[in-house]
Amino acid sequence: MTIERRVLNLGRLFSLLLVLVSLRIIYWQMVQREDLSLAAVDPVQAAEYYAELGGEKGEVSEIPVDVLTGLRPDRLLEDIPQPVIQRTIDLLNNIERGSIYDRGGRLLASDQLLEDGTKIRFYNEPSLAHVIGYVSGMRTGVTGLEAAYNTTLLGLDRPDTQVREILHEPVVGSSLTLTIDSAVQRATEKALEGKTGTILVMDAKDGAVLALANAPRFDPNRVLEAGYIQALIDNCGGATYCRAPFVNRSSQALYPPGSTWKTAALIAALDTGQVSPETVFDFGEPVQGEDGSYFVYRVDGGTIPDPNHKERRLDLEMSYAKSANAAFARIGDEMPADILIEYASRLGYGDPGEILFPLEIETIPSQLAMDTSSLFENNLLRAATAIGQGELLTSPLNVGMMVLSVVNGGELPIPYFVHSINDPGGRIDENLPNRQTIENIMKPETAELVREMMISVVTKGSGRSAGISGLTVGGKTGTAQVGGDLEPHSWFAGFAENGERSVVVVVLIENGGEGSSTAAPIFAQIASTALQHQGEPVEEVVPTPVPAPTQEEEPEPQSTAVPSAEETPAPTPVPEVEEGEASAITPDILRDPEKKDITAANPTCANLGDIPQGTGSFIWPSPYQALSGGNFREGHPGFDLAVPTGSKVSAADTGLVIFAGWSGLGYGNAVLIDHGNDYQTLYAHLSHISTFCGEKVEKGELIGLSGNTGNSTGPHLHFEVRVPGGYIDPVRVLPVP
């Protein structure tokens, strides 16, 4: 072999080695980038990742709660090694986060450089806080679309970005164009002024979300401002009208749907042939009440009142249009449980937490019943469910999806927010995976019948105030009873068409009264704007901070929205008496130290600060003060009050809520309050919880509604008084009834 040939071969070998080394570098920088970016640009996943490396899997499960509520947005940094935090900061300092625009190209969110060189994220439309979300102090997405599209907005999912990073060149993230229409969004926010609730507007043809507004809300431009979040919560003073400003009430709060859910019962009954347009209901003889005569439907010893009409006989169309409870209670009673469960499942209703749709923002699954298997034997529950009561809980978004399935001939287009992704090079991607359709929700002919009956609600029935001159409008009113002396939630869910466009609008006003008089007129106002003023320019104003509500401005409590998991602050153990510390209270029944307690089994509260001192003078937690047979004794360290389902349950004294949720130990839905003076009180078997972990409650304040959940043989309220080392008979501290 000549010397030239040897040199040539050595050169080729060197080139091959160089290529292999280069490929190795590229592999680690690009192919393995997902593992690196997990630890660098997604703080929640990174915290969980490093906790697992340290053998602490599950120890950071409360982190998403802190982040989503915004109570402590930087808490999760404690679980990430400092070098990783520094690497993240170095990486993101070299990236300009992509901007976010509305459907017309109006700027909604962007990076801005302050005079001192600090880079901040600025939001031009704060009313979209629950949709767009906000970024952390490291400028990574925390909630909403900022979190869902975090990697895209940072540009880290593009090959050109990865090359630029290797070369240490500045990076510009991709931008998002949303389906949101600013004119419609402004109208929805204005319609909620002075109210607590949510309004959702969607394009009826494809589910594109045109507007989503909540009240109360927060200002995303102030979320990282020292003291802002705590002041927003503290200054609420426990008034429910300003509670949970970080919760997206359209997708993260659950409510009884009231008569809007009669649409689901109608779909199932028509689609299976149980009823037809020719079906006529005879309601029998009315009964007399304080407010006049009304009809009732009786099943298994239970009674469902029907005060919504005066006619003794109605066909199916008018039973739906006039929201006849007796007609739909009969439909539910006679419908096989497996049919009800099947159609409810198609529409997104099942056991708690069971059915979750593929959406771009945080959502809470709707619920058909606490345990759907109970519908097979409990005819009364099945009848109550069909009229929108029972154990049903839903998000307004899920109700809107039910309407979408009707106007789309039985197919359900999944709602979406992002229309396109635009990279800095000008490439626009509109073929995104967020466009999904679920088929065969119902037969097309069923959908058409239901659509026509929804129109009858507006032209002939309870929804007349939702009508809009010159437009085709259909929908369903809802007046959801929440128990006690609270006003019902006011609903209207429907559609409006002008020939060219069609929209679906859902209005939910907490404790707003009748759906026909409160929610329906708001629907008409918003639907008209969405069809006739869509795309119009809006006045550009510098967003003004949303002031924290003051004590002087608090109205009477109005809301009973079910707190979502994201609304619950991070948890605090039940205070225990230190060894050697004496208590002046002698328990009547000692606590078994081997027996698992409610707080140990479900540690949903922790580190919540000072406990307010109780007055030491207790009141009865319910106006019903008769025992139902469950007396204070060993094995039952409390007593049971004969309280009907849905009755108001009040705090027996001032204190701090240290547990609020599903107990898993037989108590069902329960609330535990520490009164800061060696006393704690427990309220169990609730049908509804109106407080949350960490809330400071006053004596007599509403904390929930009575029910029949957990290991319960019937509606009642279980009440315990706990002291260090055990329990005392409640009659020792309650006033003589």
Do residues 383 and 329 touch, judged by C-beta distance below 8 A?
yes
Scan for tokens 């060197």, then name that residue.
14
State the pLDDT at residue 47: 60
C-alpha to C-alpha distance for 320 and 336, rounded to whole angstroms: 20
- The whole-model pTM stands at 0.69
> Cβ contacts of residue 173 below 8 Å, gap of 6+?
95, 96, 97, 98, 152, 153, 154, 155, 156, 161
Q: At 95, which amino acid appears?
A: I
How confident is the chain (737 residues) per 10-residue block, as mean pLDDT?
65 61 48 43 61 49 37 49 65 84 93 80 94 84 90 88 73 94 96 94 97 93 80 64 80 93 98 96 91 91 92 96 96 97 97 92 92 95 95 96 98 97 89 94 98 97 94 95 84 94 96 93 96 88 47 34 33 32 74 76 57 90 80 88 85 91 79 93 86 85 84 86 93 84
The set of residues, in sequence order, having a beta carbon less than 8 Å from that of 265 and lying 6+ positions away, is 328, 331, 332, 335, 340, 385, 386, 387
CA 459 to each of CA 327, 505, 601: distance values in angstroms, whole numbers, following the listed order: 20, 17, 53
Please give the pLDDT value at position 92.
74
Among the listed residues 639, 655, 648, 652, the one whose alpha carbon sits nearest the alpha carbon of residue 731: 639
Whether the CB-CB separation of 516 and 547 falls below 8 Å is answered with: no
Q: Residue 159's closest CA among 20, 26, 19, 18?
A: 26
Q: Which domains does the chain have, with CATH numbers?
A: 22-93 (no CATH), 571-737 (2.70.70.10)
Radius of gyration of the chain (CA): 29
What DSSP string describes 434-467?
Answer: T--EE--SS-HHHHHHHHHHHHHHHHHSTTGGG-
DSSP track, 233-284: HHTTTT-GGG--TTS-TTTT-BB--GGGGHHHHHHHHHHTTS--TT-EEE--
How high is the pLDDT of residue 660?
82
DSSP symbol at 209: E
pLDDT at 46 (0 to 100)? 62
DSSP string computed for 518-584: IIHHHHHHHHHHHHHSTT------PPPP-PPPPGGG-------PBPPGGGSPPB-PPP-PPTT---S
